[in-house]
C-alpha cells in the first residue's frame, strides 16, 4: 500500500482562513512538504505551524532560482523543471514507503500554486486529494469590501507577466479583473490599467488578510514598495463608489404585520417562507409558549401575552406596524385555522389602522400532521371544528357536530378538552354516536411533532375522553374510514 498525496490550500494569509479539513490533514500527515526561496523561510509552513505535531517529517523544497539569473544549461525553465523532478522524486519515496504526504500551498493549490507541479508528476501514480483554499483574489475583495462581480459580469484573472499591451487589451474588455504576480512587473501593470482607462477605479492589495496587509488606490502606489505577494484588483463597476460609514443613509421601511404559523411541533415543519418572515421581523408578538419556539435574536423585541387576549394582541401588533415596525404575529399550526389571522384582520378594520399592511403566511396545521402519522384519514371530504365555546355557544357546536356527522364527513376536532370544560368531549362523543357506529375509526394525536408525541388509533365507542387534553387533536372517521392490513388508517376517495 502506498501513501496518499494531498495538495492542501492554506488561504491567503489569515491563519483563521485555513479550513477545518486542511488543519485536520496537516495534523494527521506523516510528511509535510512546503516550498521556499533560497532564504529558506516558508510562508506556507508559517501558516500551517499551529497544526503541525511533533515527530512529523518535514520536506523543505527550496527553489534553485526565483527572480535571479542562473547558469543552468536550460536557463530558468530548465533549472525549475529539474527542481520539480527532484522534488517529486523525494515525495515519491515517502509515498512508496506508505507515508501520507501533505504539500502545503498558499491560497488555493490549483490557483497559480506550486503544488500543481507535484500534482502533474505524481497524481497518476498515487491516490491523491486536493483540498481547496481561499484564494488571494477572494481575500483581497474581502478586505476591500468590494464585490468582484455581480449578475452577468465577467471576472478575468491575469498574470502580471503578460506584456503591458496584452494586459491593457484584457482590462479594456472585461467587467472585473485581478492581476497577479506583481513585484517587478508592477510598472507595466499600472501602465496597462492606465492605457485601458480603468486606473481610476483600480485598487492595490498587499498581503491580504494578514497583519501586514496594505490597501491603496492603484494609482497611488510606489512601484519600489511592491512585493510579490500583492495584486491589482478591478472590482465590479456596478457597485459604484461605496459610501463612508457616516454617509450611509438610514434604511426606513414601511411597517407591516405578517401573521405566521410555525406548524404543530417540530421546527422542520416551519416553512422556509415563515422562517424568512420571522428572521426579517423587528418585533415578535404571540402567545408565550409559541414565542418560545422561535430561536432567540437579540435584535428583535418579543411581546408575549396570554392565550385569551387575541384582540389586544392584534391591536398591539398593528400599532407597532403603524409606527414603521415589521411585526410577526406568531401562531402554532396554521394561523388561519383557529388562530391569529382572523383576529388580526378583524382588528385591522379599525380606522386607526387604515393603511397598515397585513399578510398571512400558511403553516402546517395539526389535522394534517396527525393524519400523516397514521396514513390518510383525511383522504376524502372532511370538516374542521373547534369544541371551544369561548367565542361561540355550545349549542352551536352541538348543532354543527350533528350536521357533520349526518353528512358522513370525517371530523377534525380542535380544542377537544380543557380543564375549564372537561365534559364537552364526552358530550360531543354522545352526539356523534347518534349518527355514527361505535366502530367508527378515531385517531387521537398528542404533541405531534414534539418531544412527547403519542398517537392512538381507537374507535368512537372506545374513546376515553379522560385521556385527551388541549395538546391533542381528535380525528373522527366517516363510515368509509378504515384500518388497512398494515395498520394504516385511510378514507378512500371513492364513495
At residue 449, does pLDDT exceed 90?
Answer: no
Q: Where residue 489 falls among pLDDT bands split at 50, 70, 90? A: very high
Residue 242: inside a domain: no
CB 176 within 8 A of CB 153: yes
Looking at 170, 202, 234, the residue that finishes a domain is 234
CATH number at residue 109: 3.40.1010.10
Say yes or no: 29 and 128 in one domain: yes
Q: What is the pLDDT of residues 61-105, one digit of tens each?
A: 998 876 656 777 777 788 888 999 999 999 999 999 999 999 999
Say yes or no: 55 and 111 in one domain: yes
Residue 240: inside a domain: no
Looking at 335, 361, 387, the residue that finishes a domain is 361
CB 187 within 8 A of CB 208: no
Q: Domain range for residue 372? A: 366-490
CB 415 within 8 A of CB 338: yes
Residue 243: inside a domain: no
Looking at 312, 333, 361, the residue that finishes a domain is 361
Residue 426's CB: how many other CB atoms inside 10 A?
15
Q: What is the pLDDT of residues 103-159, one digit of tens each?
A: 999 999 999 988 999 999 999 999 999 999 999 999 999 999 989 999 899 999 999
Residue 467: inside a domain: yes
Residue 495: inside a domain: no
Percent of all residues in the chain with a pLDDT value above 90, rounded to a whole number = 79
Q: What is the pLDDT of residues 8-35, one digit of tens each?
A: 999 999 989 999 999 999 999 999 999 9
Cell 386607526: give the residue. Answer: 352
Q: Structurally, how many domains does the chain consist of?
A: 4
Amino acid at each position: 500500500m502506498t501513501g496518499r498525496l494531498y495538495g492542501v490550500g492554506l488561504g491567503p494569509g489569515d491563519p483563521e482562513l485555513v479550513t477545518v479539513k486542511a488543519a485536520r490533514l496537516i495534523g494527521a500527515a506523516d510528511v509535510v512538504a512546503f516550498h521556499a526561496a533560497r532564504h529558506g523561510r516558508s510562508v506556507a509552513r508559517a501558516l500551517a505551524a499551529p497544526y503541525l505535531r511533533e515527530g512529523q517529517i518535514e520536506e523543505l523544497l527550496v527553489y534553485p532560482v526565483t527572480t535571479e539569473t542562473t547558469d543552468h544549461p536550460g536557463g530558468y525553465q530548465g533549472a525549475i523543471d529539474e527542481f520539480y523532478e527532484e522534488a517529486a522524486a523525494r515525495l515519491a519515496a515517502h509515498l512508496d514507503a506508505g507515508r501520507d504526504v501533505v504539500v502545503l500551498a498558499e491560497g488555493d493549490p490549483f490557483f497559480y500554486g506550486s503544488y500543481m507541479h507535484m500534482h502533474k508528476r505524481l497524481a497518476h501514480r498515487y491516490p491523491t486529494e486536493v483540498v481547496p483554499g481561499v484564494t488571494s483574489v477572494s481575500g483581497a475583495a474581502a478586505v476591500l469590501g468590494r464585490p468582484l462581480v455581480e449578475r452577468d459580469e465577467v471576472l478575468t484573472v491575469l498574470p502580471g507577466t503578460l506584456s503591458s499591451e496584452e494586459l491593457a487589451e484584457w482590462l479594456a474588455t472585461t467587467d472585473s479583473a485581478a492581476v497577479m504576480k506583481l513585484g517587478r512587473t508592477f510598472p507595466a501593470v499600472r501602465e496597462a490599467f492606465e492605457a485601458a482607462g480603468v486606473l481610476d477605479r483600480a485598487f492595490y492589495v498587499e498581503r491580504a488578510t494578514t497583519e501586514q496587509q496594505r490597501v491603496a488606490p492603484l494609482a497611488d502606489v510606489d512601484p519600489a514598495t511592491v512585493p510579490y505577494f500583492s495584486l491589482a484588483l478591478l472590482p465590479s463597476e456596478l457597485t459604484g463608489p461605496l459610501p463612508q460609514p457616516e454617509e450611509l443613509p438610514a434604511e426606513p421601511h414601511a411597517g407591516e404585520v405578517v401573521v405566521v404559523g410555525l406548524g404543530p411541533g417540530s421546527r422542520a415543519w416551519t416553512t422556509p417562507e415563515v422562517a424568512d418572515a420571522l428572521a426579517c421581523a423587528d418585533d415578535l408578538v404571540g402567545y408565550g409558549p409559541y414565542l418560545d419556539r422561535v430561536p432567540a435574536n437579540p435584535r428583535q423585541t418579543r411581546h408575549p401575552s396570554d392565550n385569551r387576549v387575541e384582540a389586544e394582541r392584534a391591536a398591539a401588533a398593528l400599532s407597532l406596524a403603524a409606527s414603521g415596525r415589521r411585526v410577526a404575529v406568531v401562531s402554532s399550526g396554521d394561523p388561519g385555522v383557529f388562530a391569529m389571522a382572523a383576529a388580526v384582520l378583524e382588528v385591522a378594520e379599525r380606522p386607526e389602522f387604515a393603511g397598515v399592511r397585513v399578510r398571512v403566511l400558511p403553516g402546517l396545521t395539526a389535522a394534517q400532521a396527525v393524519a400523516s402519522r397514521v396514513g390518510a384519514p383525511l383522504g376524502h371530504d372532511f370538516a374542521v371544528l373547534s369544541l371551544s365555546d369561548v367565542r361561540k355557544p355550545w349549542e352551536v357546536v352541538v348543532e354543527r357536530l350533528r350536521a357533520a356527522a349526518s353528512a358522513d364527513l370525517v371530523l377534525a376536532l380542535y380544542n377537544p378538552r380543557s380543564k375549564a370544560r372537561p365534559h364537552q368531549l364526552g358530550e360531543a362523543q354522545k352526539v356523534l354516536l347518534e349518527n355514527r357506529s361505535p366502530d367508527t375509526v378515531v385517531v387521537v394525536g398528542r404533541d405531534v411533532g414534539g418531544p412527547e408525541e403519542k398517537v392512538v388509533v381507537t374507535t368512537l365507542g372506545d374513546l376515553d375522553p379522560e385521556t385527551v387534553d388541549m395538546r391533542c387533536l381528535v380525528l373522527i372517521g366517516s363510515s368509509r374510514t378504515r384500518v388497512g392490513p398494515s395498520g394504516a388508517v385511510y378514507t378512500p376517495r371513492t364513495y
